[in-house]
Amino acid sequence: DTVLAAATITMKLTSTVCFPRQEIMKWNGWGYSDSKFLFNKKGQAEFTGKRYRLSGMVLPSLQDWFENTFGASVNHKSPATPALNASAVPPASLNEAFVEDLKATGIPFSHEAEDRVFRAHGHCLHEIFALREGKKFERVPDMVVWPNCHSDVVKIVELACKHNVCLIPYGGGTSVTSALECPPEETRCIVSLDTSQMNRILWIDEKNLVAHVEAGIIGQDLERLLNESGYCTGHEPDSMEFSSLGGWVATRASGMKKNVYGNIEDLVIHIKVVTPRGVIEKSCQGPRMSTGPDIHHFILGSEGTLGVVTEVTMKIRPIPEYQKYGSVVFPNFEAGVACLREVAKQRCAPASIRLMDNEQFQFGHALKPQVSSIFTNFVEGLKKFYITKFKGFDPHQLVVATLLFEGDRERVLQHEKQVYDIAATFGGLAAGEDNGQRGYILTFVIAYLRDLGMDYYVVAESFETSVPWDRVLDLCRNVKERINRECKERGVQFQPLTSCRVTQTYDAGACVYFYFAFNYRGLADPVHTYERVEHAAREEILANGGSLSHHHGVGKLRKEWMKESISSLGVGMLQSVKDYVDPDNIFGNRNLL
Amino acid sequence: MASKTLYSQRDPMLKRDGFEDILEERRNSSDLKYALRCYAPVLYKGVTPCKANMLKNIVLQSDQLRYVINQVSQESGEAPDIIQEEASVILEEMAHRLQISTVRFFAFALSKAFKTLFQHVCVNEEGIQRLQQAIQEHPVVLLPSHRSYMDFLLMSYILYTYDLALPVIAAGMDFMGMKFVGEMLRMSGAFFIRRSFGGDKLYWAVFSEYVKTMLRNGFAPIEFFLEGTRSRTCKSLTPKLGLLNIVIEPFFKGEVFDVNLVPISISYERILEESLYARELLGVPKPKESTSGLLKARRILSEDYGSIHVYFGQPVSVRSLAQGKVNRSTYNLFPRHIPRKPMEETQSFVNDTAYRIVRLQEDNMVLKPWVLMASLLLQNLEGMELSVLTEQTVWLRGLALSYAAFLDWPDHAPTAKVVSSSLALHRGLACVSGGRVSLVVGEPLGPVTPEEALFNRAVSVLSCASYRNQVLHVFLRPAMLAVAMHTAASSKKNEVYNCFSFLWDMFSNDFILCPGDTVQDFEEACYLLVKTGAVQMPQQDIVMTDIGQPTLSFFNGLLEPFLQGYQVVCRYLCEEASEGLTEKQYIPAVRSFAVKLILAGNLRCYEVLSSDMQKNALAALLRMDAVRKVKVADQVTLIVNKMAVNSIDDILGKNRMISHINQTQISPSLSLVAVAEDLCRDGLTPSYIR
């Protein structure tokens, strides 16, 4: 039973004209409208709704943690604008000829303000902040179109080319790279191509263990539907409740359990893409080919600049018999990293292994629900006593690694022992399943927590990188220090929260994920301040041997560093592919290049 | 105005803190108590101090050292164990063994000694506070100026006094000669490095890893002398880059977030080694450091050495300095534990940083009235009326202050009193008789040859010059402009600039001139001379004002010995130097050439006898390609391009001929600029004329 067990919903939408996602999802925040954190009248934090394990629970320590960490107060609210102000949305500038031809195809579309605004953004801080403030939009799509299948997409792209209309593919809308933002300089009609109706599993091939799936399918639906047949993909990016298969391909997504199942590029066997030049696909499903550079790699990470991914054949696996969470506490971050490195070296990483720093460990603890039984409380107290007093771990230094094992029971237990033995050589102490599971809960509710923060003058964001093993510690330390310094220099009045975790391990390095948040009271333009600090943090990452991105992508947020990252010749190569595939820049979201 | 903004960039540094005398408390309370008091300094991010042995183990087991050990083993065919053992021996020889008990001993002994030797030991406490802050935040490198053996004991003494983390200090191996003292120093935090270990890979690896380990972990502030050795002339020396490279590299490699460099200026009113240095410069070899030698030095305990001022400058963040200058990501593609030659970008950054730090040291050097008096006396070797000296000293004080000199002039004391007490403190150098002040010449023992007399006089001139040299950094840029105005064929700004630029290049071994700063220095000089009313700059001209004469002529006189000295070297190379002149022969040969000129009455400049000036002049000529070094067998021979040397001589000597030596190769009517342009065309000095 996964963390998400309680979170399943049917994303199947009735095929009315409007497909209003916004009816069940927030228009100006993360996730479902019914699920949110709030401080109740007693000042205690609660998570509303019924979808998650934390739903309906009271989190007694969150308020203290929140107020102490940020210098914030539950009495200082910064509420969001309650509803979308239609006058803040620029009128749709439609290409009438395109609209006429589109009507003839019978493919549904809309130019309602709410539909257009909903698809005008991803989940970057500045995007959500602007929505909450009710700021005027500079540029949003002029219409939204909902193709139902591959051939609908072919028709739309043909019409877009014919009428010189700009297309921006829209999957789950979870981008955090400004990739969905409409270029303000775009004068053509912008059409958001929403793939949400292309959400079927077309077939499952049990002999080869692959499934052929429409690319608009959302992660949790894909898993749920496959589970019904006894399979899974095992691809679980943190955004899987909302992000789509096509989006994963377009951004080179990575899933939590990549150690067992691989990242998206390892999972994909065949891709069908509709481009202005026609449809790209391979002629067979051979598991590996030597036919020149892999054309899939032009598509993987193309961020919607070349065309629309419509169908994907991807690997599936039988659902694992047994799953077990676990956790290990280390006296400090250095010891934890050394352990993860050793685990990677011995190639025995469990499905997921993550190392949270002390800040994140404490953050996780602040999310502990009220414990009903005195006995549980007592046991927790004992554990804490054992670790801090008996073993002498400093509560302000200790870190925790969270683990998820999968497989048949016997092998999981064996594997678990192997990992715990390695951990012990680095001073790690097994700290139970609960602690492990809590770490993963944090992952799924963190974006909801950001909305809570924004209700109380706290802005927050996450960013990630990948880095060789020997530089992990230096990078983490320097990036945190840089953030602290930049905040101070830019007039942030309160100590920011900077926290990181080593979230994936590889043979030659690791993926590091940062959370960064601060109380913005007293700042004139908190978003600008935030952006400057994030910019500095990225420069620090690059100077310390980190990559521009491990899985979030480039979008428009990190374009400026592309040359530095892949050389100007490399950018030229990508550009020439773009020029060939899409000479009129129909896919004009201007990401990446 | 551009020059204003350029200058004002340096201005904030010139806001200086006040001083506290740390001896005052020592004179009023028990030294023993002081030496035994609780000492609990704050450390970098609260690290626990690391025992010397643990430190050695970290170094020996580091990836960096293991890599080099394997490399050396493969190259030499020796087993890695043996090389490892060698490394361990090197480390043993090098490592400090800081012990608080030894520090306490020094705290006690130095308290006694300082109180006898010095009137005051003054420290800027605000600087101490800044340092304390810096130590907690980042690894700190202490970079004091180096004028005396006292320097590093003094530094540790001060840090102990203020309860700051004691530094580990890079010291030259020559101290090791003094068995007992060497070990004492080791136990007070010194670590010892060989003076030269050019090609010794293993040595370099042990050494650099040792320093980096201490820095990375923030176990203790690292202290070393950028100048590499004690300056015998009291001028700052061209910085050495080896250690600076080592301490900066961990920042470039991302191993530390930042490194703070703290320039520290230690100014002595009287240097203990004063006449020793003069003798050394004149070719009497430096006494080998030995314990018995040090004991003999006890004699100095009976003298008054005035005050010491120690100024802890603003910590300089390497990160801020490197912003936009060094792209750290160029270190991404190479394993960090493999030693690599720094990239060009990095090298020039380190070089630039070193110069800037030395200039910051200079800026905060405290100058005493005697420094001004010495400058005047050296321009009047025949002696001066006391009243004239007093009057001119007052005038010079005003000038120095307007050029932001850090002058320690006693408050509320009448000028005559200031002058007379300065003379009293330096009675070994100058005396007053019959109302005239003149340099003291060492008492001859028995009959003297003319050479011996000359030698004695040179000692007092060079000793005196070491005080004048302390003020040079204040006046240097305007003084070079004054000389350039004097020598340029016209008052056109570009012609003056060309001359300035030539002098700048020529003297860049003698003075601290940051590479590439020619234009900035020129503008600073113009700004200063205009500001003090000595010069005006109508349109494209630079001309002296009605009241500018005293200033400009003082400045010309200030640099005169250097111009003459370099000229003598040029003359020697053109006229006397034999074909196969070796590098070794060069200094004694120039010296005897100069002695001859002086004895013949053709030269009155004694400073050319200083080996320091001779070396700097040669370095300048080598840099300008007027002389080349050729290695023949084991000897390095100097090949002189007489044409080029002659041209340089001519530019230097414009209007300043050493009277009767006739040189006719170059037509006297040729303007300076024409000569300079010729030089330029010949590719001799391509950089300074544009």
Whole-number pLDDT of residue B443: 62
Confidence of residue B663 (pLDDT cuts 50, 70, 90): very low
| A181: its two tokens | 């933002």
pLDDT band at B177 (very low <50, low <70, confident <90, very high): low
Each residue of A341-367: pLDDT tens digit?
999 999 999 999 999 999 998 998 888
Q: What is the DSSP string of B565-608?
A: HHHHHHHIIIII--TT-BHHHHHHHHHHHHHHHHHTTS----GG
A309 is in an annotated binding site: yes
- CA separation, residue A366 to residues A61, A64, A437, A527, B243 (Å): 5, 8, 14, 26, 48
The structure tokens listed for B463 are 């000793």
Decide: A156 and A167 in contact? Cβ < 8 Å. yes
pLDDT over 80 at A230, yes or no: yes
| B336 to chain A: closest CA residue | A470
A474 contacts in B (CB within 8 Å)? 253-255
Question: What average pLDDT does this structure show over B405-412?
Answer: 90
pLDDT above 90 for A591: yes
pLDDT in tens, A157-209: 999 999 999 999 999 999 999 999 999 999 999 999 999 999 999 999 999 99
Distance in angstroms (rounded) separating the CA atoms of residues A275 and A154: 8
Res. B304: pLDDT tops 90:
no
* pLDDT tens per residue across span B504-532: 999 999 999 999 999 999 999 999 999 99
CB-CB under 8 Å, B336 with A543: no
Cβ contact A544–B335 (<8 Å): no
User: Is the CB of A566 inside 8 Å of chain B's CB atoms?
Assistant: no
| Angle in degrees, CA B137, B139, B141, rounded to 5 | 125
Q: Which of residues 310-349 of B touch A (CB under 8 A)?
A: 327-329, 331-332, 335-336
Counting beta carbons within 10 angstroms of the beta carbon of residue A352, is it exposed (0 to 12), middle (13 to 18) or buried (19 or more)?
buried
pLDDT confidence tier of residue B291, bands split at 50, 70 and 90: low
Residues from chain A contacting residue B332 (CB–CB below 8 Å): 545
Interface of A with B in 472-511 (CB under 8 A): 474-475, 477-478, 481-482
When pLDDT is cut at 50, 70 and 90, the band that residue B669 belongs to is very low
Q: Which of A472, A481, A488, A566 to mutate to probe the B interface, most B CBs <10 Å?
A: A481
pLDDT at B455: 86
Residue B203: CB atoms within 10 Å? 19
Return the pLDDT at B447.
67
User: For B545-576, what is each residue's pLDDT tens digit?
Assistant: 999 999 999 999 999 999 999 999 999 999 88
pLDDT for residue B446: 63
- φ/ψ of residue A203, rounded to 5: -160, 160
Burial A397-433 (b: 16+ CB within 10 A, else e): ebbbbbbbbbbeeeebeebbeebeebbeebbbbbbbe
Count CA atoms within 13 Å of residue A405 on its CB side. Answer: 21
Task: Calculate how close chain B gets to A484, using CA atoms only, in Å.
Answer: 12
What's the CA gap between A519 and A460, in Å, rounded? Answer: 9
Contact B329 A545 (CB under 8 A): yes
Flag whether pLDDT at A330 surpasses 90.
yes
- Is A450 annotated as belonging to a binding site? yes
pLDDT tens readout for residues B16-42: 889 999 999 899 989 898 888 888 888
Judge whether residue B174 has pLDDT over 80.
Answer: no
B39-55, pLDDT tens digit by residue?
Answer: 888 888 767 777 788 88
What pLDDT score was predicted for residue A122?
96
Query: Distance (Å) from the C-alpha of residue A64 to the closest C-alpha of chain B?
Result: 27
Supply the mean pLDDT for chain B: 86
Q: In this structure, what are the phi and psi dihedrals at residue A213, rounded to the nearest 5 degrees?
A: -130, 145
Single-letter amino acid code for the residue at A14 = T
CB–CB of B254 and A474 under 8 A?
Answer: yes
Confidence at residue B298, expressed as pLDDT on a 0 to 100 scale = 57
Is B687's pLDDT higher than 80? Answer: no
Which whole number is the average pLDDT over B215-237?
91
> What is the percentage of chain A residues whose pLDDT exceeds 90?
82
pLDDT for B681 equals 39
A174 is in an annotated binding site: yes
Question: Given a cut of 50, is residue B678 above it in pLDDT?
Answer: no
B331 to chain A: closest CA residue: A545
- Respond yes or no: is residue A386 known to be catalytic: no
pLDDT at position B5 is 33
Question: Three-state SS for B287?
Answer: coil
pLDDT band at A437 (very low <50, low <70, confident <90, very high): confident
Average pLDDT over residues A33-39: 93
A16: which strand partners?
A: none
- Taking the CA of residue A496 and the nearest CA in chain B, the distance in Å comes to 17
CA distance B588 to chain A (A): 52
For tokens 């700009």, name the residue: A166
Span A373-382, average pLDDT? 63
Catalytic entry in A32, A456, A513, A530:
A513
Q: Is residue B636 a contact partner of residue B668, using CB atoms and an 8 Å limit?
A: no
Instruction: Inform me whether the pLDDT recorded for B176 exceeds 80.
Output: no
Which residues from chain A sit within 8 angstroms of residue B329, using beta carbons? 542-543, 545, 564
Query: Given B328, B335, B336, which is nearest A543 (Cβ)?
Result: B328
B334-342 CB contacts, 8 Å cutoff, 24+ apart: B335/A470, B336/A470, B336/A471, B336/B253, B336/B255, B337/B62, B337/B63, B337/B64, B337/B67, B338/B64, B338/B67, B339/B64, B339/B67, B339/B68, B339/B201, B339/B204, B339/B205, B339/B208, B342/B245, B342/B249
* Candidate ranges A315-324, B275-284, B339-348; pick with highest mean pLDDT: A315-324
Residue in B257, B329, B336 nearest the CB of A470? B336
Within a 10 A sphere around the Cβ of B634, how many other Cβ atoms?
6
Helix, strand or coil for residue A435?
helix
Any CB–CB contact under 8 A between B682 and chain A?
Answer: no
pLDDT-derived band at B616, boundaries 50, 70, 90: very high
Q: What is the mean pLDDT of chain A?
A: 92
CA dihedral A420, A422, A423, A427 (to 10 degrees): 130
Mean pLDDT of A214-233: 96
Decide: B339 and B205 in contact? Cβ < 8 Å: yes
Q: Is the pLDDT of residue A5 over 70?
A: no
First and final CA of chain B: distance in angstroms?
21
Q: Which residues in chain A are closer than 8 Å to B331, comparing Cβ atoms?
A: 545
**pLDDT value for B150:** 86
A474/B255 CB distance under 8 A: yes
Residue type, B103: V
Task: Count how many pairs of residues, chain A against chain B, have C-beta atoms within 8 Å.
Answer: 25
> Which residue from B257, B328, B329 is facing A481, i.e. has the nearest CB?
B257
What is residue A365's predicted lDDT score, i.e. its pLDDT? 84
Check whether B683 has a pLDDT greater than 60.
Answer: no
Whole-angstrom distance, CA of residue B515 vs CA of residue A8: 68
Distance between B137 CA and the closest CA of chain A, angstroms: 10
Expressed in angstroms, the distance from the first to the final Cα of chain A is 42
The answer to whether A172 is a known ligand-binding residue is: yes
| Residue B615 token pair | 């070396």
**Chain segment A137-155, per-residue pLDDT in tens:** 899 999 999 999 999 999 9
CA atoms of A130 and A459, how far apart (whole Å):
12
Question: Is B254–A564 a contact, with Cβ atoms under 8 angstroms apart?
Answer: no
Question: With an 8 Å Cβ cutoff, are B257 and A478 in contact?
Answer: yes
Percent of chain B with pLDDT over 70: 88
Task: Give me the phi and psi of B452, to 5 degrees please.
Answer: -65, -40
Residue B686 in this model has a pLDDT that exceeds 80:
no
In sequence order, the 6+-apart residues with CB closer than 8 A to the CB of B433 are none
Looking at residue B7, what is its pLDDT? 36
Model-level pTM? 0.89
